[in-house]
Amino acid sequence: MSGKGEAMEPFDPARDGAQMAFDGRMSYGDYLSLDKILDAQKPLSEAHDEMLFIIQHQTSELWMKLAIHELVAAKARIANDDLPPAFKMLTRVARIFEQLTGAWQVLRTMTPSEYTEFRDDLGQSSGFQSYQYRAIEFLAGNKNAAMLRPHQHVPETYQWLDGLRHETSIYDEALRLLARSGLAVDPAVLERDLAAPYQRDASVHAAWLAVYRDPGKYWALYDLAEKLVDFEDYFRRWRFNHVTTVERVIGFKRGTGGTSGVSYLRRMLDVVLFPELWDIRADL
């Protein structure tokens, strides 16, 4: 036992087997390309809070990249009747949006006075122009050709988004699964123009209602429905917190990208991705 006041020898992780030399070996920073990521914050002003603003949006884009990865994979699994992995992926997407919702709490520590110190430096850039957010909406079924226009200046991005607009959404694949499972879905729904916004349909309403009235018989479809509702639930919470954060920081000013700001964001709260899954709750 060491005597009173005697300094303890510092712990050396190498004695516990930790690798300490990385000349020619892959390190943590190498694997994650941290040099690139941590060099991507380029404030345009001297304002202290601009770093917060940049990191908030960059990390959101990273989470959205993962959400797209999961939604694309889940859509393919549903199309192939491979539901258990799809359920895991949709659960992960819901948790991603829970994470994104919590992130607004950090941005809310920035006051209106602090934001005005660098707002003019943003030019016309705006979250409205996030092509990954648009991809998530298209994958979920909220397709609006007008939303492609802000991306015309980058042909590769425009073509990617337009391709997603013309493909099945995850809800389209769920409705096709309903039909493959023997439930009566109007063929017109299954053969509709995929690039057009989805519209409520009575046959789809009846099919989901049958699932919810007999979960034991249609357990996989019932589970899929709840996974979709969970995703949309957290997606709505994220959008709502976006509105309240913007109102707290800029009030009712116009957005930097030219939108009406809070008024525009409030209109987006009325968008319902999977309408029948919400409508049937009044019938049960």
Binding-site members for heme are: 242
> What is the chain's alpha carbon radius of gyration, rounded to the nearest angstrom?
24
Structure tokens at 162: 């337009």
Residue 103 CA: distances (Å) to CA of 31, 50, 59, 94, 177: 25, 16, 9, 14, 35
> Could you tell me if 126 and 134 are in contact, meaning their C-beta atoms sit under 8 angstroms apart?
no
Give the other-Cβ count within 10 Å of 232's Cβ.
Answer: 21
SS3 24: coil
Q: Angle of helix 131-140 relative to helix 170-180, nearest 10 degrees?
A: 20
Binding-site residue numbers for substrate are 53-57, 115, 119, 256
What count of Cα atoms within 13 Å lies in the side-chain half-sphere of residue 41?
Answer: 16
Binding-site residue numbers are 53-57, 115, 119, 242, 256
> Could you tell me if 193 and 145 are in contact, meaning their C-beta atoms sit under 8 angstroms apart?
no
Which 8-state DSSP code applies to residue 82? -
End-to-end Cα separation, the chain, in angstroms? 71
Structure tokens at 107: 């941005």
